[in-house]
Amino acid sequence: MKEKRILLVIGGGIAAYKCLDLVRRLREESASVRAVMTRAATQFITPLSVGALTNEKVLTDLFDLDDEHEIGHIRLSREADLLIVAPATADLLAKMAGGHADDLASTVLMATNKPVLAAPAMNPRMWLNPATQRNVAQLKADGIRFVGPNTGEMAERDEAGPGRLAEVPEIIAAARKVLAEGGTVMPLRRPLTGRHVLVTSGPTHEPIDPVRYLANRSSGKQGHAIARAAAQLGARVTLITGPVALPDPPGAHVVRIATAEEMLRGVQQSLPADVAVFAAAVADWRPAAVPSEKIKKGSAKPALELVENPDILTAIAKEPAQRPALVIGFAAETDDVIAHATAKRKAKGADWIVANDVSPQSGVFGGDDNTVHLVTRSGVEDWPAMSKDAVAERLMLRAAEHLRKTTAAAE
């Protein structure tokens, strides 16, 4: 954090007091901190105490002409390396998602061209409210990064659940990560405009009988992040997803399927596409026969006979008539990651393979982070550990660059 300039936007919630410690810790790490407080935030902590810790004048009012003259909200937002919103209240998130700019905090957040990290804190019911979840999905699609909220006891009696502000060290670690990833606010760049990107995501469910199925632990987080990033970069996106508990990426056309055979049909019906990304964890096998009645518990142990599912990636990569210009597969490996991924790229006919280690200790299945290796015809690139959102953004920017170069070469 050395010499990094942080603009801290303090929202009006009981957790605002933790911002005092956040400022202190950021300054200990040699970052400089300037603070903007919402009117509500000043009800919880005083600008005087924040100013004493930042050693800078604390700004609260959009219409304070002196400050507008001295700094201006545009300059204020642009001079920072990173904006941190803490506590990001339900109201502040709603304003950000809706593009409101009726006070200094929301105006600065609208005007910035720098990465924004939001640390939400609110009552669990407010956090779980569909309106808040919609706003969070929209903000993620807009490139806003999130840390927390954590789950636990609330300040109100007898209230517990998700909604606690992330701890100060967690916010600092997340800030460090966003700065290291060098993210910018994505809406400014839309290099996939005019392209169709097709993404598969999530697990497949292969029925054993009407109530049971074979599945795996994929949450869809990586695939959905890719669909979000592609839409954010201007693409028309079709997302073919297995059963997941995630909001639809804003702007994407979502096709919901359950089995591998349905996923194959969904993909085939969505062609042509410029880019196809196969992030789904497709079941390699399915039960050979599915009875129409529930299998009863009885004396005979049921034997599960399996047949192989179609390989969707191979079918599309080797599709003679409508092969997308760029076919990207994933490889989920537990050992010898790069060797297996390299062999998979060739066997399946993909242009690129994103290899990830899915052994249980990696936490990749279901987790928020990933460490990937990009395997192409010309070699292997090791990417640092980053969030699935950052993997998605980087992958889609690479895809855009690849399409730009191949289109230019063909002209």
Q: Nearest distance from residue 25's CB to ligand PMT, in Å?
A: 31
Residues composing the chain: 411
Q: How far is the CB of 244 from ligand PMT (least distance, A)?
A: 8
Which tokens belong to 30?
Answer: 């040699």
Residues 172 and 208: their CA atoms lie apart, in Å, by 47
Peptide bond into 115 cis (omega under 30): no
Q: Which range binds ligand PMT by CB under 6 A, 116-124, 132-140, 141-149, 362-370? A: 362-370
Total residues at interface with ligand PMT (CB under 6 A):
29
CA distance 217 to 350: 24
In the complex, what is the shortest distance from the CB of residue 82 to ligand PMT, in angstroms, rounded to a whole number? Answer: 26
Which residue has 């289109």 as its token pair? 407
- 218 interacts with ligand PMT by CB under 6 A: yes
Output the smallest distance, CB 311 to ligand PMT, in A: 4
User: 92, 364, 386, 396: which one contacts ligand PMT (CB under 6 A)?
Assistant: 364
Q: Does 50 bind ligand PMT (CB under 6 A)?
A: no
Contact with ligand PMT (CB under 6 A) among 72, 99, 182, 366: 366
* Cα atoms in the 13 Å half-sphere on the side-chain side of 36: 26
Coil, strand, or helix at residue 32? strand
- How far apart CA 329 and CA 313 sit, in angstroms, is 7
CA distance 143 to 370: 17
In the complex, the smallest distance separating the C-beta of residue 142 from ligand PMT, rounded to whole angstroms, is 20
* Helices within 220-370 (DSSP H only): 221-232, 260-270, 312-317, 337-348
Regarding 358 and contact with ligand PMT (CB under 6 A), the answer is: yes
| Nearest CA-CA partner of 259 in 229, 236, 283, 291 | 283
- Could you give the CA distance from residue 76 to residue 99 in angstroms, rounded to a whole number? 18
Q: Please say which residue, 154 or 315, places its beta carbon nearer to ligand PMT.
A: 315
Under 8 Å CB-to-CB from 81, ≥6 apart: which residues?
4, 5, 6, 114, 179
Among 196, 221, 228, 373, binds ligand PMT (CB under 6 A): 221
Site string for ligand PMT, 167-206 (x = CB under 6 A): ---------------------------------x------
CB of residue 372 vs ligand PMT: minimum separation in angstroms? 8
Q: Tell me whether residue 216 is one of the annotated catalytic residues.
A: yes
Q: How far is the CB of 50 from ligand PMT (least distance, A)?
A: 38
Rule CB under 6 A: say whether 280 interacts with ligand PMT. yes
Q: Is 309 in the site for ligand PMT (CB under 6 A)?
A: yes
Which secondary structure element, helix H or strand E, spans residue 379, and what is its range? strand 379-382
CB 283 within 8 A of CB 202: no
| Phi, psi angles (nearest 5°) of residue 182 | 65, 30
> Rg of the chain over CA atoms, in angstroms?
24
In the set 129, 135, 150, 216, the catalytic residue is: 216
Which C-beta is closer to ligand PMT: that of 34 or that of 145? 145
> Which x/- pattern, by CB under 6 A, does the window 116-155 give for ligand PMT?
----------------------------------------
Among 282, 317, 396, 403, the residue binding ligand PMT under the rule CB under 6 A is 282
Q: SS3 for 193?
A: coil
For every residue of 238-264, DSSP letters joined together read EEEE-S-SSPPPTT-EEEE--SHHHHH
Could you say whether residue 281 binds ligand PMT (CB under 6 A)? Answer: yes
Stretch of residues binding ligand PMT (CB under 6 A), selected from 44-52, 69-77, 163-171, 278-286: 278-286
Whole-number minimum distance, CB 348 to ligand PMT, in Å?
Answer: 6
Q: Which helix (H) or strand (E) holds 73?
A: helix 73-78
Stretch that binds ligand PMT, among 90-98, 153-161, 309-317, 395-403 (CB under 6 A): 309-317
Q: Which residues are part of the catalytic machinery?
A: 216
Sites of contact with ligand PMT (CB under 6 A):
200, 218-223, 260, 278-282, 284, 309, 311-313, 329-332, 344, 356, 358, 364-366, 388
